[in-house]
Structure 1
Amino acid sequence: MVDVIPIFDQVIEESLSWLTDNAGDVFNGISAVLNGSFNLLNHVFQGFNWMVFILVIGIYGFFFVSRIFGVVASLGLWLCQAMGLWSETMTTLTLVISSTFLALLFAIPLGILLGLTTKFIRWADVVLDFIQTMPPYIYLLPGIALLGFGPATAMWATWLVAIPPALRLTAHGISITPIQFNELGTSIGLTGISHLFKIRVPFAVPSIFAGINQSLMLSFSMVVIAGIAGSGGLGQVIYDSVRSLQIDKAVDAGLAIVVVTIVLDRITQRFGMKERSK
């Protein structure tokens, strides 16, 4: 019997080599675009005075989330500055926001299509389950081989990890539109695109926001892992600290990640709650 595993391994290796040899210019271009967009957004975030940034988040949290959150968020972000990790925190925020934004550009439209065409949902579930259960380190390897070390590889891996929750919940929100809402739209003459954007998408918005929230949370976990690929930010601080056994620095970076994750989580949850209350 032919041993399948070595053949499979050989196919993977030869395919990667072929892409490196024959599509190098394409991947160099993709890398340049990703690195360029990262550098631009990172320059914007780094340009914010840390006191102004904390003040804006604190005021928004105080009035639109909760008073306790506004105070705690301000103190947590101040802690990031006090630990000397403000620049790395902003870099991490840049990676998460840029990668999640690119993931949403792909996941939400595809989720809407899947929600309308339910016969493909089972196949999509298999692919999404594969993406979510595969160890995330694996996604860094083709990124490093094709895009090189740096933010581009981190964005690629984070983009891939952030897609499944947003896609699933978007499709779910579209597919569970109550029959009476669909019948109402039909009765008033809505068809096609009009019916989609005036009936089904508004009903699915809370589910879509829940997907955005989950994508952001997974993006943070992937950005930390991507520190191995020289992504910069808090993930690389943790990776370098582990290599040099600087436990205090690793703990500081871990606390900073917790702070930024909680702040973004509560803010995006608030947006979702506002949509549910409408």
Structure 2
Amino acid sequence: MEKLIDLGKYIEIGINKLEKNFSGLWEAIDGVISWTVDSMNDVLLGIPFYIIIAFVALGAYYANAGKSAFKIEGLKKGAGLAVFAVFGLLLIFAMGYWEESIQTTTLVIVSTLIALLFGVPLGIVAARSTTADVIIRPILDLMQTMPAFVYLIPAIFFFSVGNTPGVVATVIFSLPPAVRLTSLGIRNVAEDVIEAGRAFGATERQILFKIQLPLAKPTILAGINQVILLALSMVVIASMVGAKGLGSIVYQGIQQNDIAKGFESGLGIVILAIILDRTTQAIAKKK
């Protein structure tokens, strides 16, 4: 069927102009992201694996046990995930994928931080302005429904191959939950609480930072949990543009039809996902 509107052509022209007119900006972004990822990898890989495992296990334990960490009740709550973290990470190390798991964790951390850096402020703006919400919502719908592979095309165009296009594509894919749940949490704060703050002379800034954000914290933390999981789900796709980590091993397994390599690296991703998911959920559920 003949095209009536060649929309893709206009998008391509626009991207070409962006690449040409803002080449310095793309190089700067590439430099910052590459330096951050490489530096974090070097730091984490320089720490003995058993120290990282102990740190993750203790973090998982305290996230679940909370204030009862030194009581029997806390032991029952936190021991399960802590033991799973120890054995799961030891299994990754024993399979020979420790370096790749660190690289994957680094990509997830950097992508999550960037997504939150943009997502939380946008969520605050959307919650406090109906006009902004009307504008932002369809953009988020587009970001969530567009196939993730599509994000790789402009990412490669602007940043070539490597960790940077993988991080950029991951940020775009995982950003919407941060915006939506931040906005939802603030909008769900009871109006009478806000009116009470105004009655006591609180400014709009004080209402936001001392009333709305603290009360919306559980919902915002749930959004952070979703951002982390979506970022982790992108590691295999990001590997197609040169991002390192367990995703690249999965991709190699697909290319080489290597069931063992694909299963082992996939299992490593599952272990990391469970640890991150259960830990952030436990933090979000705390009062």
TM-score over 0.5 (shorter chain) = yes
Q: Which residue of 1 aligns with 2:48?
A: 49
Residue 229 of structure 1 aligns to a residue whose secondary structure is: coil
- Partners of 2:107 and 2:133 in 1: CA distance: 30
Residue 124 of structure 2 aligns to a residue whose secondary structure is: helix
Q: Which residue of 1 aligns with 2:20?
A: 21
- Partners of 1:229 and 1:71 in 2: CA distance: 35
Residue 76 of structure 1 aligns to a residue whose secondary structure is: helix
- Partners of 1:170 and 1:59 in 2: CA distance: 28
Q: Which residue of 1 aligns with 2:258?
A: 246
Once the two structures are overlaid, the 10-residue window that deviates more, 125-134 or 25-34, is 25-34
Return the match for 1:266 from 270, 278, 286.
278
Q: Which residue of 2 aligns with 1:58?
A: 57
Segments of 5+ residues of structure 2 without an aligned counterpart are: 65-77
Q: Where does structure 1 differ by over 4 angstroms across 4 or more consecutive aligned residues?
A: none
Structure 1 residues 18 and 64: CA distance shift in structure 2, 3 A = closer
Q: Aligned partner of 1:192: which letter?
A: E
- Partners of 1:182 and 1:203 in 2: CA distance: 11
Q: Aligned partner of 1:228: which letter?
A: M
Structure 1 residues 198 and 63: CA distance shift in structure 2, 3 A = closer
Q: Which residue of 2 aligns with 1:5?
A: 5
Structure 1 residues 119 and 20: CA distance shift in structure 2, 3 A = closer
**TM-fit CA distance, 1:86:** 0.3
Q: Aligned partner of 1:183: which letter?
A: E
Alignment of 1:43-192 (within 5 A): 43-65=42-64, 66-192=78-204
Q: 1:231-255 CA distances to partner (integer Å, 9 max, x unpaired)?
A: 0101111111111111100111100
Q: Which residue of 1 aligns with 2:218?
A: 206
Residue 270 of structure 1 aligns to a residue whose secondary structure is: helix
**TM-fit CA distance, 1:63:** 4.2
- Partners of 1:44 and 1:238 in 2: CA distance: 25
Once the two structures are overlaid, the 10-residue window that deviates more, 44-53 or 97-106, is 44-53
Q: Percent identity?
A: 37
Residue 5 of structure 2 aligns to a residue whose secondary structure is: helix
Segments of 5+ residues of structure 1 without an aligned counterpart are: none
- Partners of 2:4 and 2:127 in 1: CA distance: 37
- Partners of 2:40 and 2:62 in 1: CA distance: 27
Residue 149 of structure 1 aligns to a residue whose secondary structure is: coil
Structure 1 residues 188 and 151: CA distance shift in structure 2, 3 A = same
TM (normalized to structure 2)? 0.91
Q: Aligned partner of 1:222: which letter?
A: M
Are the equivalent residues in 1 in contact too, given 2:111–2:167 (CA < 8 A)?
A: yes
- Partners of 1:110 and 1:21 in 2: CA distance: 28
Once the two structures are overlaid, the 10-residue window that deviates more, 202-211 or 26-35, is 26-35
